[in-house]
Structure 1
Amino acid sequence: MRTFRTPRPRRPRRVVGALAVTAATALASAATLLPAGQAGAAGTTLRSLAEAKGIYFGTAITQGDLNNAALTAVAGSQFGMLTPANEMKWDTVEPSRGSFNYAPADRLVSFAQAHSMRLRGHTLVWHSQLPSWVGALPANQVQAAMRNHITNEVGHYKGKLYAWDVVNEMFNEDGGFRTDAFYNAMGVGFVADALRTARAADPNVKLYLNDYNIEGLNAKSDAMYNLVKSLKSQGVPLDGVGFQAHFVLGQVPSSLKANLERFTALGVEVAVTELDDRMQLPASSTALAQQGRDYASVITTCLAVRGCVGITQWGVGDGDSWIPGTFPGYGAATLYDNNYQAKPAYAASAAALGSGAATPTPTPSTPGPTPTPTPSTPGPAVSCAVTGSVSSWDTGLVENLTVTNTGSTAVNGWKLAFDLPAGQSVTSAWSAVIDPSAGRVTAGNVEYNGTIAPGASASFGFQATHTGDVALPTGFSLDGTPCTTA
C-alpha cells in the first residue's frame, strides 16, 4: 500500500513560543465529550464544534481505508471535510496520456457524500506522483498536457468539491521555484496558467496553492506571499493558500498567526491542509500532553485569524499515518492511536474549539467586606454588528461575512438580511442558506450554527458572479434589527 504522499525529509524547525492550552485543562474541559476508550462517540464531535465556530475540521483518507471499519466510523462522524490522499493525483487519474481513471477517487467522493462531508481536491499540478510520460514530453507539449489534465479532472468533479489544490509544493526551501517539468517548460507562468485553466473548468470551486514549511515567517513563506501578491495584482483567479503543517512535536511556529494574517490581507482565505504532529517513539505521557498543546495552538490560531476557514488532519489515526514510513523512529502524529482510540490531543482540540472550557478553581483569599455592586445599564436585547471580506476575479467573487450578537440575549434561529450590489448573484453558499440569489437577500442559519450567544459570532460565506461591482453588501439587519458594519 502506498503512503499518502511521496515524501521527502523535512528539515526540523527550531521555534518557540507557540500558543498553548494545557493538557490538564483540555482534558478537564472535554471530559464529557468522549467516553473513555471510544474513538468517536455520538453527540458532540470535532466536526460540530468546528462548524459552530464557522470553520471545518477535516481528514484525508485513501480508498483502501474504506475497508477499515474502525477508521471509517471515526472519519464519517468526527470530520466534516474529506481530502482524497492519493486518488486525485496525476499518476492515478491519468497514468497514460489521455487515459483517465476516476474510479478510485469516485469511491471517496461517494463516501463523503454519504456522510455529508465536503470535499477538497488534491492535487492537480505537482512534481511528485507524476507519471513518467509527463516528464518525458518535449517542453513545447507540457502546457497542453497540463491544461488537458486540469480541464478533464476539474470538469469531472465540477460542482462536487469545495476547493482544489491546483498547484502543490512549487517552492524549494530557499524560496526558489522547483525545477520540475512544468517550471522547466513554462517558467513561473505555469502557476497562473494552471489557475486560469481550473477556473474555466469550474467557475465556482475554490482554487488554492498548497505547500509545506510555509507556516512560519521564513524565506519559503516569503516566496509564497510574493507569488500570491503578484497573482492577485494580475487578476489571476486564486481563492486561498493551504499551509500543510506537518509539525515536529513542540515546534509550532510562534509566527504562525502573523504569517496567516499577512496572507488574508492579500484577499485570500487560508487553511491548514495536512496537519500532523510527530514525536519520537515510544510516545510518553509528557509528549502526548505536548501534542495536545500543539494541536490546540493551531486551532486557536486559526480561530483567531479572520479568513482561516478550516483545518484538515492528514490521516485519521496513527495506524494510517504516513509518518512512521518516512521518518523512522517517529510517529504517533494524529488525534487517534493505532486502534482509533482518542488521544489527549483530541480532548485538547475539542477544548480549543470551545467545548465548554473548564471554570478555573478560585484562588483562596482572605475574607473582606462584601463589595457594593456597581449599577450597570443593561444592553439592548437584540443588536448586531457585521464584518466581511471579499475576494474577486474576472466575473466571480467570494465573500465571507461574520455577524456578532452585541445584545444581551441569545439569538436563536437567525436570519440576516442584506442588499447585494447590482450585478452580483449568489451561486453557492456555505454555513448558511441564502435566498433569493440577488437584490435584497436573506441568509438563514444551518443546523449547527443556529444559536448566537451574547458576544458570540456566526460566520458564513458565498460565491457569486458579478458585472463589475465587487463591493460588500449593505443594509444588514438581524431578525429585523439593523446591524452596524465595519
Structure 2
Amino acid sequence: MHNRRLAAALAVVASAALAGSLALVRPAAADTSLKQLAEGKGKYFGTALVQSNLSNSTLVGVATSQFDMMTPGNEMKWDTTEPSNGSFNFGPGDALVAFAQAHSMRVRGHNLVWHSQLPGWVSSLPSNQVQAAMETHITTEATHYKGEVYSWDVVNEPFNDDGTLRQDAFYNAMGSGYIADAIRTAHAADPNAKLYLNDYNIEGENAKSNAMYSLVQSLLAQGVPISGIGLESHFILGQVPSTMLANMQRFAALGLDVAVTELDDRIQLPASSANLQQQASDYSTVVSNCLAVTRCVGVSQWGVGDADSWIPGTFSGYGAATMYDQNYQPKPAYTASVNALGGSSGGSSSSSPSTPTSSSSSSGGGGGACKVSDTVDAWNTGLTENITIDNTGSAAVSGWSLVFTLASGQTITNGWNASYSPSSGQVTATNASYDGAIAPGGSVSIGFQATHTGNAAAPASFSLNGQACSS
C-alpha cells in the first residue's frame, strides 16, 4: 500500500500547485457554479477525468470550479488495474482519487466488471476459473479504494440493445448469476459504497430498460444489495427520450437511486446556432428530470469540454457534445443547466460573500433599442459579472458589439458567450458565432470573470453597436 500512498501524496502536491497557478485564470463564483447549485438541491454535478487531463490547467480550472463528483475515465477499469492475472496496478487510479480529494470532489468508481477493456487473460481462462478471478478482482480493487469512493459501477453495460444479456466471459462461465455474485462481492469488500448497474440506451422506456427493470426486481427479491441504476445518457441531439422521467421514477419506486452518469449530447458538425440551442434544451430536460425525482442523486457529464470529449474519435462527423467548447468556454447548454438548477446567468445566494450590483446607462435621446442589466458577484480579489442584453427595438440585431468600461483595477480573466478585448479599461464584447442574432423582444446573456484590487463596481454605462442602452 505504500506505493499507493506515495502516488497519492505526489498527486496532491501536484494538484495543489496547479490549483495555485489557476487562481488568476478562473476564480470561482462560489454561488453560481453547477456544483453549488446542484448541492443546493441535494444533488451533485460531476464530470469524468483521465490522468492526462490533470496537466491541462484550463480544463482543471473548469473541473474544480464547476464539478463536485469525479469519475475516472479509464484508470479503474480492469485492463489498467489488473493487466495480468494477480498483478494489480492502482497508481493511475490513486492519482485521480488524490486529485479529487484535494479538490473536495467525491469519486464514482468505474468500473469493476465490463466486457470491454478486459485483458485477454480473463477471456482465455477456463470457464471454471472465471468466477474466482472475478471475485478476486472485485475484492482486491474495492478493498483498495474502501472508504474513498462514493459508488461503484459494479457491472457495466450488461445488456444488448434487445434486452438480452451480453454473452461475455462472465455470462458464459456463470450465466446471469454473475451479476448478483459481483454485487455481493463488492458489498462484502466495501459495505458503505453505493453499488450500481450502469448502461446506455436505458434512459427511456424500451426493451433494454425493461430488461434492466426486470433484472433489478429479481436482484431485490434475492436480497442482493444493489443501490442504484446508472443511466449513461450518451444522447444524439434532440433525442432525449420523452419517457426518461417516467423511467427514472419507476426505478426509484423500487427503492433504488438513479444517476445520470455519462451525459453528453452529440451534434453533427459543424454545429449551428440552432443546434446549440437544441443542445441547451436537451441538457435542461435531463437536469430537470433529475430534479423531479427525489432519488436521482446527480448528473455527471462525460468529460469536461468538447476538446477532451470522446465523441469525435468514436462517431465520425460528430462532436460539440458537452457544455464547454474547444476552449473550455461555456456554451448555451451550460446556461440552460444553470437555469434548470434554479440559478441564473448571474445568480447569487444569501450565503455567499458577494454583493449583487445592478448598473446600466440611461437611454440615449429618443429612447434606446437595447436594455442592459447586469449582476456582479464579488469576493476577495475576484468577481463574476453576468450581463443580459435585451433587444427593445422593432428590428432584429444581426451581429453586435457591447462597449463598457471596467472600474479601475479590474481585469477580465475569462468570459463566455462573447469575446472580450482588451481585458481592462474600455472593453468591447463581440458576439460569439452562435448568439449574434437578437430578435425583437429577444435577449442574450454573456458574462465574464475578473480580478479586482478592491473596486468591484459594475460598469456605469453600456452601448450596443454604438447606441446607449437603457436599464
Alignment correspondent of 1:432: none
Whether 2:224 is the aligned partner of 1:260: answer no
Displacement of 1:306 in angstroms is 1.7
Q: CA offsets per residue over residues 380-410 of structure 1, 9 Å max, x none?
A: xxxxxxxxxxxxxxxxxxxxxxxxxxxxxxx
Displacement of 1:140 in angstroms is 0.2
Residue from 101, 124, 137 that aligns with 1:113:
101
Residue from 317, 333, 341 that aligns with 1:345:
333
Alignment correspondent of 2:29: 42
Q: State how 1:212-291 maps to structure 2 within 5 Å.
A: 212-291=200-279
Q: Is the 8 A contact 2:283 2:333 kept in 1?
A: yes
* Structure-2-length-normalised TM-score: 0.67
Alignment correspondent of 1:396: none
Q: Is the 8 A contact 1:124 1:150 kept in 2?
A: yes
In structure 2, do the counterparts of structure 1 residues 284 and 50 end up closer, same or farther at CA, with 3 Å as the change threshold?
A: same
Residue from 317, 321, 332 that aligns with 2:309:
321
Alignment correspondent of 1:157: 145
**Residue correspondences, number:** 322
Residue from 154, 175, 186 that aligns with 1:187:
175
Alignment correspondent of 2:47: 59
Q: Whole-Å Cα distance in 2 between the matches of residues 74 and 271 of structure 1?
A: 22
Q: CA offsets per residue over residues 74-115 of structure 1, 9 Å max, x none?
A: 111100000000000000000000000000001100110010
- Secondary structure at 2:88's aligned position in 1? coil
Q: Is the 8 A contact 1:57 1:310 kept in 2?
A: yes
Displacement of 1:267 in angstroms is 1.0
Q: Whole-Å Cα distance in 2 between the matches of residues 233 and 356 of structure 1?
A: 44
* Structure-1-length-normalised TM-score: 0.65
Q: Which amino acid aligns with 1:64?
A: S
Q: Whole-Å Cα distance in 1 between the matches of residues 338 and 129 of structure 2?
A: 49
Q: Is the 8 A contact 1:40 1:78 kept in 2?
A: no
Q: Is the 8 A contact 2:111 2:152 kept in 1?
A: yes
- Secondary structure at 1:160's aligned position in 2? coil
Alignment correspondent of 2:188: 200
Q: Whole-Å Cα distance in 2 between the matches of residues 95 and 356 of structure 1?
A: 47
In structure 2, do the counterparts of structure 1 residues 347 and 357 end up closer, same or farther at CA, with 3 Å as the change threshold?
A: closer
Query: Which structure ranks higher in relative contact order (CA pairs < 8 Å, sequence separation ≥ 6)?
Result: 1
Unaligned runs of 5+ in 2: 1-24, 347-471
Alignment correspondent of 1:305: 293
- Secondary structure at 2:324's aligned position in 1? coil
Q: Is the 8 A contact 2:338 2:345 kept in 1?
A: no
Q: CA offsets per residue over residues 148-180 of structure 1, 9 Å max, x none?
A: 000000000000110000000000010000000
Whether 2:199 is the aligned partner of 1:211: answer yes
Q: Which amino acid aligns with 2:222?
A: Q
Q: Is the 8 A contact 2:307 2:327 kept in 1?
A: yes
Q: Is the 8 A contact 1:39 1:341 kept in 2?
A: no
Q: Is the 8 A contact 1:147 1:194 kept in 2?
A: yes
Q: Which has the larger radius of gyration?
A: 2
Q: Whole-Å Cα distance in 1 between the matches of residues 308 and 324 of structure 2?
A: 10
Q: Is the 8 A contact 1:151 1:201 kept in 2?
A: yes
Q: Which runs of 4+ in 1 moved over 3 A?
A: 38-41
CA RMSD of aligned residues (A): 1.4
Alignment correspondent of 1:402: none
Q: Whole-Å Cα distance in 2 between the matches of residues 291 and 101 of structure 1?
A: 39
Identity %: 68
Q: Which amino acid aligns with 1:205?
A: A
Q: Is the 8 A contact 1:127 1:180 kept in 2?
A: yes
Alignment correspondent of 1:88: 76
Q: CA offsets per residue over residues 405-447 of structure 1, 9 Å max, x none?
A: xxxxxxxxxxxxxxxxxxxxxxxxxxxxxxxxxxxxxxxxxxx
